[in-house]
Chains A and B, each alone.
Chain A
Amino acid sequence: MAGIELLNFGFEFVEVFAFIVLATVGLAVIFGMMGIINLAHGEFILVGAYATTFAFAAGLPLPLAMLTGVVITAVFGLVLERFIIRHLYGRLLDSMVVTWGISLVMIQLVRIAFGNSAPGVGIPFGQLPVVDGPVYYLVLATIAVGVLGGLYALFAWTDFGVRARATMQDEETARSMGVDTDRMYMATFGIGSGLAGFAGALYAPVMTITPEYGTGFLVEAFVAVVVGGSSVIVGTILASGFLGSVNAAFTNLAGTFMGQVAMLVAAIVAIRLMPDGITGLLADWRENRGESR
């Protein structure tokens, strides 16, 4: 008995964890790098999902359709960055307001262009044997871990990553050392957009696609970014782990809705206790330890 329950909890956790990670990374990359909270994040996800379903409906195999979704969203993000976002660096609140305006326009344009529904994509891979749920969620979890690993490798080991982190830490100095910070911002925005599109593509088979599709990801993404703080990878992992386990535990005890509520309450308490997020707290600790030595 207990074994099954533990399995259920484990599966629930894996499902929620993957969802939060994938919903968040795109937002977290842009926030961590530029301090901008992209309120059009949900609509980037929407672009990814629509591109995927229409590519799939046009006869592309699912992985290729998803790749199309990612590429189209990344290109879309780059275009927006060049024409609009670029003018707003250093104006954080303005950039948030502008991205919200973009979000309004996009939701409505999608509704006008495609109506209130889109062709569906079936869930691949079938059902799991013991736990009640599709195999696909385990695939999603694997991909989520892969994405985090890939981002870590990108930011820690590549030349691009070093330049990007230098830009993040001190733009002036980075520029005087010959880093083209403008291009770094552009590239980061493109990566963030691509990751948002990836989330949209991956969840296209499991969630009904409507013009409000992106809104379904927003709360989790915002909450995880705020709880995680400004360090992209560590913050996302810790916040997703924390919020995911609270959600999974309460979903198992009292149903999906209570799981959601418990997660949000936990998030609000966490923000109250750690105003700069989990990674802000970690940074404080590290500093204090350094001082006491």
Chain B
Amino acid sequence: MSLGSDSSGGLLAAVREPFEGPNTMGNTPAFWLGLTAAVTLLAAMPVLFGYYAAEIGAVFLAYALLGVSLCFIWGYCGILSFGQVAFFGVAGYAFGIVAINVPTLTGLTLGLLAAVAVSTAFAAALGYFMFYGGVRDVYVTILTLVVALVLYTFLGQTAGGEWAIGDARLGGFNGMSGVPDLGVGIGSVGLEIGIVGHYYVTLGALVVTYLGLRALVNSQFGYAMVATREDERRTEMFGYDTTFIKFVVFTIGGAIAGLSGVLFTAQNNYIDPSVFGITAAALPVVWASVGGRTSLIGTIGAALAIQFVDYQLALSGSEWALVLIGSLLVFVILVMPEGVAPRLHEYVVEYRASPDPTPAETPAPGEVHGGDD
């Protein structure tokens, strides 16, 4: 089946080419067909289920983007950060501060840019500090978690009136409320993005980030990233600047987490220090571990599914969501440490390979190799 469409769709294959390679799973036409169907389905959500679905869905999609930021740095470069929420939250607060003070279209656009810039710079500073300082492995993980927890403590004690930047009051544990919706434009020319619009913006950001990262991890730089993950010393011996690679990857991860933080804050019109808390910090790790840290799409799927279940449980008044999420994490690591998506992928590859081993030549090498990563 895959052979047939490969030969017929020369143009399609050319379009797909930059997004495919040994570092990603799903390099077959069937995968892209499924992905298109999934995106279409997600895009149809507000039409099918209305306004309310868009409001909730946008938050899940923003979370998925946060999960992607961790999947990218952990799964592809071996940097386990427990503090992706730090960049998420910092960008959220930064957007809130700018947007509350300048609630015009120009201000909102500036707020978006400034927030992503702040989180990127923050990640770059922290990454420079750690990787060029020789901080490694477990220490990176703990340091990033400590940074998030420190921000939690810091913002928790900003309840007083002196903790205000212009009109934006940080508000301590009560949080910063009254953050405007997202908007893009200059002066009076532009677009204020309402709830349904925000849903599509978030979905668009997720899809674009996903495709962009797929292209990146399958590029020369991506190979160097994966090599750094596999064996840092050997990669360095080959002449790659692994410190620089880790620094760049960590910074990109911070930028993506920051973008998701802005989308999250603008959707809720609110942010509070709990985004830095130990529970919130655990969620990206849960999504990436359960979905599969070497699979961007797996992480996205896990984030959407877990947050959906969490939301349904919260709606029904159950307190068991966190117990369920924590147990799921323990279960997955014990039973299939690589995560759900890579395991599924193995089954698919095996299934395809088993009936007639000869004609499956073309897709097989890339696929089998992808399963290894």
Specify the chain B residue showing the minimal Cβ separation from A40. B326
Interface size class of B (residues with CB under 8 A): 35 or more
What residues of B have a CB within 8 angstroms of the CB of A268 in the complex? 129, 143
Tell me which residues from 70 to 121 in chain A have a Cβ below 8 Å from any Cβ of chain B: 84, 87-88, 91-94, 96-98, 100-109, 111-112
Q: Contact between B330 and A271 (Cβ–Cβ < 8 Å)?
A: no
Q: Please name all residues of chain B whose beta carbon is closer than 8 Å to the beta carbon of A264 when the two chains form the complex.
A: 146, 150
CB distance from B85 to the nearest CB of A (A): 13
Q: How far is the CA of A75 from the CA of B129 in the complex (A)?
A: 41
Complex Cα distance, B146 from A225, in Å, reads 12
Complex Cα distance, B329 from A92, in Å, reads 15
Contact of A107 with B329 in the complex, beta carbons under 8 Å: no
- Cβ of B282 within 8 Å of any chain A Cβ, yes or no, is yes
The answer to whether A100 touches B282 (Cβ under 8 A) is: yes
Are B322 and A219 in contact, CB atoms less than 8 angstroms apart?
no
B80 touches A100 (CB 8 A): no
Query: In whole angstroms, what is the CA distance A42 to B143 when docked?
Result: 17
Is the CB–CB distance between B319 and A108 below 8 Å?
A: yes
Give Cα A225–Cα B44 distance, bound, in whole angstroms. 50
Interface of B toward A, CB cutoff 8 Å:
80, 82, 129-130, 133-139, 141-143, 145-146, 149-150, 153-154, 157, 277-279, 282, 285-286, 289, 319-323, 325-330, 333-334, 337
Q: Across the interface, do B319 and A97 meet the contact criterion of CB distance under 8 Å?
A: no
Residues of B within 8 A of A105 (CB): 322-323, 326-327, 330
Main secondary structure of the interface of A (DSSP, over half): helix
What are 30 inter-chain pairs, A to B, with CB distance below 8 A?
A42-B278, A84-B330, A84-B334, A88-B333, A91-B337, A92-B138, A93-B80, A94-B333, A96-B141, A98-B333, A100-B282, A100-B329, A101-B327, A101-B329, A102-B326, A103-B278, A104-B282, A107-B322, A112-B319, A215-B278, A219-B146, A226-B139, A226-B146, A261-B150, A264-B146, A267-B146, A271-B133, A271-B135, A273-B133, A275-B136
A218: CB under 8 A from chain B?
A: yes
| Set of chain A residues within 8 Å of B330, measured between Cβ atoms | 84, 98, 101-102, 105
> B146 — which chain A residues lie within 8 A by C-beta?
219, 222-223, 226, 264, 267
Measured as residues with beta carbon below 8 angstroms from the partner, the interface class of chain A is: 35 or more
Query: Closest approach, in angstroms, between the C-beta of B103 and any C-beta of chain A?
Result: 31
Interface residues of A in 236-293 (CB under 8 A from B): 257, 260-261, 264, 267-268, 271-273, 275
CA distance in complex: A98, B327 (Å): 9
* Residues of chain A with a CB closer than 8 A to B82's CB: 100
Give, as a whole number of angstroms, the nearest-CB distance from A168 to chain B.
16
Which residues of chain A in 26-75 are interfacial with respect to chain B, using CB atoms and an 8 Å cutoff? Answer: 35, 37, 42
CA of A37 to CA of B142, assembled, Å: 8
Q: Is the beta-carbon distance between A104 and B141 smaller than 8 angstroms? A: no
Given A94-B333, A275-B135, does the pair A111, B319 have CB atoms closer than 8 Å? yes
Contact A109 B323 (CB under 8 A): yes
- Distance (whole angstroms) from the CB of B84 to the closest CB of chain A: 14
Max chain B Cβ within 10 angstroms of own Cβ: one of A88, A100, A273: A100
Q: What B residues does A106 contact at CB under 8 A?
A: 326
Identity of the chain A residue whose Cβ is nearest the Cβ of B136 in the assembled complex: A275
Give the chain B neighbours of A37 by CB distance below 8 A: 138, 141-142
**Minimum-distance CB pairs A-B, first 4:** A104-B326, A101-B329, A105-B326, A108-B322
Given the known inter-chain contacts A101-B286, A102-B330, A272-B135, please indicate yes or no for A219 contacting B153, CB distance below 8 A: yes
Task: Give the chain A neighbours of B157 by CB distance below 8 A.
Answer: 257
- Nearest CB on B from A95, distance (A): 9
Residue of A nearest to B335 (CB): A87
CB distance from B157 to the nearest CB of A (A): 6
B322 to chain A, nearest CB (A): 4
